Structure 1
């Protein structure tokens, strides 16, 4: 049986140099397709990055930056923090060499996936990011779909989005999986690895917040059993299995950045609900939208 420690990576545990988090595809056993780096820059600092074998999206977590790539410089306006708003995002293709510079300092996520195709650099402005309200009642959450299928498709395999779950609510619920290829005419599922990168809103007095993440086995031959407390800067790897629910402690809004990719030629996100939990989808309309998130779609 696998343990929490194999897949729950606490804040700072994988960092090195200017990077608070380093998760690279192929750098750990059984982890093949996806990656995430969180770069922390002091005011006036810069970092040169080479996207060897991967395509990437640069996602400001707090602060803004300028990214120079292919002879052009793109200004990402950033944000105060992940709870404040969506952000400008930049896509760069496989093999790019880029310089990330920040006059005011900040923290910047580099979501990556193994790729071979050459696509153009693309700047996605915050006001153009579709915002979806998903769920109902205490299962309501907000999804910023800057890099999902059908929203931005000019890339090989990377799928990325960010989710805000208000304090006390449940997210990634019903639990679901995408760990095998199914296409039987009635149901489709896509094989995808997934990274959850968490930030949790602190208490008014500044004490840290927390939440919970669960992943369980979908196949007796692929055991996994993760139920862990998550805090800001933590990452959880989902190589397979039912993942969710994720629960935000009351009083502490939860953010997670999802990074997905897999071996299939088609870039797709098709899931299977946990059969014991799929019924909750039928309760959302009656429960209504959590009033904290009303009016947030675009």
Structure 2
């Protein structure tokens, strides 16, 4: 069996040369002659999918609204709305509020990880990923790595606004970096919850609705705005064991130049627990999708 191909190299008279016969055996040998490229490792595959998530921001810059305009609005609104009533002046209240608002804003935007996962499922992109010879969790890890850029950007925006308004971290640059780094770790772990919902729920609106039902109680029923000692006993018991409270207290302590102590270990413990619980559930749902 053979196939014929026409070569268009002109001869002396400008006419095409004669047909050249190519056997199917020689064609197959040509296609499989080279060695297959090596299978990408877990790290390289995860970084590649993380880069894909960042390219989405490049092509759709409107996605940055929730990490730029929204945090600025939160800082201004709560500082001047509650500052005079709770601390005597907005500037005094800002010293306590800004680390908490930082945690609140970043934790809120973690839900967009689940939204992105659900959107790719709806478009059929996941079906293509499943056929690739790659480390299976790299797709999920890539989403989270890409979103870490959003968390860092949101943190820098909030910090810049706070400095303009009069926030002065006693911990200096080291305390600020340590607080933001801890927040990124906590947010990375918290994002696994929303990747699970992104795989479990059918629509993007459902993911956002469920996410807000979880995030709002956790962020508002915390020590972000006021001291827990001012709350009723039954509410204080919940707030003191809230993972967002531990994260907020740890970040605030770092920025105030203090060692978080037990709050730091609670935050890291919650982070490890979230990954240990929701990571396997997410991958099981992904493999069965």
Q: If the length of structure 1 is used for normalisation, what is the TM-score?
A: 0.27
Q: TM-score, normalised by structure 2?
A: 0.28
Structure of larger gyration radius: 2
